Chains A and B, each alone.
Chain A
Amino acid sequence: MRNFMENLITADDFAADSEFPDYAHEELEPAPSPAAADVKMAAQGVNVYYGEKQALDAISIDIHSRQITALIGPSGCGKTTFLRCLNRMNDLVESCRITGTITLDSEDIYSPDVDVVSLRAQVGMVFQKPNPFPKSVFENVAYGPRIHGFARHQDELEEIVVRSLNKAGLFDEVKDRLHDTATGLSGGQQQRLCIARAIAINPDVLLMDEPCSALDPIATARIEDLMWELKENFTIIIVTHSMQQASRVSQRTGFFHMGVLAEVGTTEQIFQNPTDPRTRDYITGRFG
């Protein structure tokens, strides 16, 4: 059993800088250190078919530990499909067929002896549209720890809930209405609640599928800020339509185009010196 507590930081650790969104981080960030470049997840020649139609063609990509990897590309390019392969959400689509290998900590996640339910507990997901359960704020966050047996008693559960809400920067806003229904929160708060819910079970990897596409710029800024803090503890993969967002938050970027991974590299390199002409055209706004 992984030590659940080791990654947790308290609200005080980052209360100071969560007040002010500060995108200057990026320039200060040194080139990925060898330790940070540990490969957390890796895809090798992944093909995805929906029935007869091939949606992804020979995708190979390394996802580095405790970094944010952004997947960008025009609509329908397969980036969300790829993201959903990483926690096997595509299993739910009956016509979907996948070949190739995807590993998490060098273990094949599509191997027959992998339990999908435990995989999804290790690879959490935040969806495009905020989708809190129609229950109280507390119950939303407590749900994961409860079904995975993380808390032995109520006190422990409350601790996890408070800590997760704190990490998602939401606790101060909702502390007086923990037992009100979560659907009454604003869109941005709901999305941060979904993040709190996902990190409450302390996954290794956090998949984010256009988490800000339904939010206004201020709520988006808060989520991006939050992602910066979360990457200290989690490996994050974000699918985004917004190139600005990818350049602001990510360390590595992969560019998808019509079902193939056209280019992958450090964010700096992709945005400043793309090698693939398709990437260059997309980034300079010639299509997309």
Chain B
Amino acid sequence: MIHSNRTRVRKRQRAEQRFRAYGVLSLLAAGSVLVFLMYTIVASGYSAFYRATVLLDVQLDAGHIDVNPPFTREALLQGRYSSLVKSALYAQFPGVTDRRERRDLARLLSPGAELVVRDYLIAHPDGIGDKVTLEVPMSSDFDQLYKQHLPRSGEHIRFTAEQLQWYDRLLEEGRIHYRFNPQFLFGGDSRYPELAGIGGAIAGSFYALLVCFLLAFPLGIAAATYLEEFAGDTRLTRIIEANINNLAAVPSVIFGLLGLAIFLNVFGLPRSTPLVGGMVLSLMTLPTIIIATRASIRSVSPGVRMAALGMGASRMQVVLHHVLPIAMPGTLTGTIIGLAQALGETAPLLMIGMVAFIANTPATPLDASAALPVQIFLWAESAERGFVEKTAAAIMVIMAFLIVMNLLAVIIRSRTQTKVE
């Protein structure tokens, strides 16, 4: 009797251990996939925050830039700086005189190099005629060469033998540096990978989320409050309720089509703008906010409602003074999660034309603009090697935003939980 009992106990204990092991294994599997994903993204993306630059001694000659005094900002913006930069580079290699060779030599520099000179002159208009040492960006291919993303030899080599020699000489002379690339975080998109930035996309996403929040938050709270506090339990409210739940599960591309058909074609709102993007995203966020708000309104203790009603508070006062303030943390959590989802949505934005190439940072929600997920989509399609690291880095940025938003939601939730205790 005791013996048979013991075997059964042992069997049960082994089953328990196996059961636990399955759980640990699935956690490990999920965790390792996540770690692998993060590792590949970070490993291929972190270098986008840096770029290779060359030190050039530039003779700031007024004749070369085709600008007459006075050297105002407007006048300097009209100037042409490419010959200044090129002659500074040629001065490093006096032996290179052939036109074709000089053209190859100039390919070491980014088209953004002349903008560095222009910006320096705008900041120091008295400096005309001086000789200054400036750090200018290298072209994408040499940037990638420096980062060892492109091979020096082999079948698909993108460099001539002379170019590699010049590059090596600059390296030996200590003229090539590896610097933080602020343009990536703050600049707009560009055809040239070394000049492309996600600043414009961040601004576009910010405006779109702002519009989305301003529309979906009040509408969502109003709808949820009415359904929860005022509407009776009728067939109509039950149909509305079921439809709100269904709406949350509709594929996002359909919301994009709706936005295209209604906001662009019927209302004639401007294409590719964060305004329309935000409106489309708010359609998607609305069900999330309504569902979260209704849940948190329902969890407000009936005692508080009774107390307020018993004091002679009107139903509106009960809602505004008590129910909504108590439900607000839950509402905010739901809103942040809804906005985080909206931040990552690509398909609806493609539908309303936010997929266009736009190099400018939008100043208002009415300017055509890119958005973070669409920028990733655009760069991922690009053939240039330089855009690979940009794509990964943009994913890092959007993930950072998502993590911050979700953390915020967690903090709000835990704060209020401790308060209730």
Contacts and interface: CB of A to CB of B under 8 A. Distances in A.
Contacts of A125: 306, 310
Contacts of B306: 89, 125, 127, 131
Contact of B311 (A94, A134, A197): A197
Interface string A122-139: 101101010111100000
A34 to B, nearest CB: 32
Nearest to A127: B306
B232 interface: yes
Contacts of B232: 94
A144 interface: yes
Given A127-B303, A134-B304, A201 B310 contact: no
A183 B317 CA distance: 21
A127 B304 CA distance: 10
Interface in B223-263: 232
B308 to A, nearest CB: 7
Contacts of A114: none
B307 interface: yes
B31 to A, nearest CB: 39
Interface in B268-311: 301, 303-304, 306-311
Interface centre among B232, B303, B310, B313 (most CB of A within 10 A): B310
Given A94-B232, A133-B322, A143-B321, A120 B311 contact: yes
A87 interface: yes
Given A94-B232, A131-B304, A133-B304, A87 B313 contact: no
Nearest to A119: B312
Interface residues on A, range: 20 to 34
B302 to A, nearest CB: 9
A194 interface: yes
A148 B303 contact: no
A111 B322 CA distance: 29
A131 B312 contact: no
B72 interface: no
Contacts of A218: none
A129 B311 contact: no
Contact of A131 (B301, B317, B420): B301
Given A94-B232, A147-B317, A133 B307 contact: yes
Nearest to B322: A133
A198 interface: yes
A118 interface: yes
A235 to B, nearest CB: 16
Contacts of A124: 310-311
A15 interface: no
B314 interface: yes
Contacts of A92: 309
A147 B301 contact: no
Contact of A127 (B307, B312, B313, B419): B307
A21 to B, nearest CB: 27
Interface in A80-99: 87, 89, 92, 94
A118 B317 CA distance: 13
B326 interface: yes
A117 B308 CA distance: 10
Interface in A128-187: 129, 131-134, 143-144, 147-148, 181, 183
A102 interface: no
A118 B312 CA distance: 6
Contacts of A109: none
A143 B303 CA distance: 16
A165 B314 CA distance: 24
A234 B301 CA distance: 29
A201 B322 CA distance: 18
A121 interface: yes
Nearest to A129: B303
B326 A198 contact: no
A87 B419 CA distance: 32
A117 B322 CA distance: 16
A94 B232 CA distance: 9
Nearest to B301: A131
B311 A143 contact: yes
A194 B307 contact: yes
B307 A148 contact: no
Given A129-B303, A131-B301, A120 B310 contact: yes
Nearest to B302: A131
A148 B312 contact: yes
Contacts of B313: 117, 143, 147
Nearest to A121: B312
A276 to B, nearest CB: 32
Interface string B311-337: 111100100011000100000000000
A120 B312 CA distance: 5
A198 B306 CA distance: 12
B311 A121 contact: yes
A157 to B, nearest CB: 15
A137 B301 CA distance: 18
A12 B304 CA distance: 32
Given A131-B304, A143-B321, A89 B312 contact: no
22 contacts: A87-B310, A89-B310, A117-B312, A117-B314, A118-B312, A119-B312, A120-B309, A120-B312, A122-B312, A124-B310, A125-B306, A125-B310, A129-B303, A131-B301, A131-B307, A132-B307, A134-B420, A144-B311, A194-B307, A197-B311, A201-B311, A201-B312
Interface of A: 87, 89, 92, 94, 117-122, 124-125, 127, 129, 131-134, 143-144, 147-148, 181, 183, 194, 197-198, 201
Closest A-B pairs by Cβ, 8 of them: A121-B312, A131-B303, A125-B310, A120-B312, A131-B307, A144-B311, A117-B314, A117-B312
Given A117-B314, A143-B313, 19 more contacts: A89-B306, A117-B312, A120-B310, A120-B311, A122-B312, A124-B311, A125-B306, A127-B306, A131-B303, A133-B308, A134-B419, A147-B311, A147-B317, A147-B321, A183-B420, A197-B307, A198-B310, A198-B311, A201-B311
